[in-house]
Amino acid sequence: MKEIIPCKAIKADVLLPGSKYIANRLVPMCALADGESTLHNVVQNDDINAVIEGLNNLGYRLTLNSSTLQIKPKVTELAHAVSLNTHHSGTFSRFVTAIAALESVSVFIDCSEKMATRPMTEIFETLGSLGVTINTANDCLPARIKGPILNSNCQIDASRSSQFLSALLIIAPVLSKGLTIQVNSEQVSSSYVDMTLYWMAKLGVNASRDDSSFKIGREQSYQGRELTIPGDVVSASYFMGLVAIAGGHLTIREFDFDSVQGEVDFYKVLEKMGVKFERAGNDLVISSTGRLSAVEVDMGEMPDVVQTLAVVACYATGKTRITNIEHLAYKESNRIIDTANEIAKTGIVVNYGKDFIEVEGGKPKAATINTYEDHRMAMSMALLGSKTAGVKILDADVVTKSFPDYWRLMSQVGLESITVDG
């Protein structure tokens, strides 16, 4: 458990590690490529380690040296059944299920207890319609997957997670007949699908898109590349939130202004609350007096910064309403109910429903925050401690899932924490 030490106004700069969202997509794409690839600025976290280990178990050849990842294609096809473990990673669980379906041998996919409760039905049903055999006890992982994929047309329900659609897009170029995908539902987090398509194009694969359908033609293939992964725009949100609450000035160096990820626009939400932002070359300069005003905002395309905004809203004048977030119930925690309950511990008035959270700003008091094995719960709730004494974060090391350097970099910019017995 960590106790957060309230800080003075911030005056610092920070350089953030590469985006795990981009790495989660680029690594399997490069593994499926015809030639070798080299990726620089690869964040070393639990999720990416699971990707590397899992793909190596499938016969791909990945070697991580510091923040540089060398990726070589398979030499031979798998001859015997294999197994792998996705641990806590929802993204890799969905992606590797599709990749495993490319194999003619059985692939057993195991996971953590937490991941074993998260939705997989949609990808299982779609792969089944493509001729893949799926054996699972309850439509979740663990599961045994046996391909190959036989058909070239399918439908997918992407109403709970865009990752199901991205998983199919990632494997489509290596299918001999190509793949046509019809989305038969509302599609959430479309910017993440845009990200998948963007990096597919960077590796030489083009997809045609018509309203709710996607077609990846036959005789395409990923080309090996040497690429540097841009900084993580979601990780940047915690530093923006810190300055918004505590006041002061912070420069985020090499900010990824060109990101297709929805969360790149989070600074525009904070701008409406009274925070000032300025672009200086490739850097983003943030200034705040600590005086904030409430907002009403649709966060459907910025799901992974909803918790950050909810914490910032605790210190804003008025009632902040965050809408279009129904799909957050299916993340590492129920990020609607759990976020509301933890904020309420501080005495702040919080209301929530199926697809919204309302936070009435005030003066939060000391509280011990449960993280529910959710890395983003730990990182966002820690910001409460920048202005409120006595905030403690249980299971604070859960940040290693995506951002192992979180506590070190927060200390570097001025937000200190101490480890205490719980």
d(CA 403, CA 44): 8
Q: Give residues with Cβ within 8 angstroms of 49, minimum separation 6.
A: none
Same domain, 104 and 134: yes
Same domain, 13 and 27: no
Query: Which residue segment(s) compose the domain that 95 sits in?
Result: 20-216
Same domain, 375 and 336: yes
Nearest to 100 by CA among 71, 118, 129, 123: 123
Same domain, 212 and 240: no
What's the whole-number mean pLDDT along residues 354-383? 97
**How many domains would you assign to the chain?**
2
* pTM of the entire predicted model: 0.89
Q: Give yes or no: 304 in active site.
A: yes
Q: Is 155 inside any structural domain?
A: yes
What is the model's pLDDT at position 422? 65
pLDDT tier for residue 242 given thresholds of 50, 70 and 90: very high
Question: Under DSSP, is residue 351 helix (H, G, I), strand (E, B) or coil?
Answer: strand
Radius of gyration of the chain (CA): 21
Nearest to 103 by CA among 155, 165, 59: 59
Same domain, 209 and 343: no
Q: Dig out the tokens for 414 from the structure.
A: 């001025």
Query: pLDDT of 269-303, one tens digit each?
Result: 999 999 999 999 999 999 999 999 999 999 999 99
Query: pLDDT of 8-58, one tens digit each?
Result: 999 999 999 999 999 999 999 999 999 999 999 999 899 999 999 999 999
What is the model's pLDDT at position 195? 96
**CATH (domain of 126):** 3.65.10.10
Query: Which of 46, 256, 304, 374 is labelled catalytic?
Result: 304
Q: Backbone phi, then psi, for 108, in 5-degree steps?
A: -95, 125
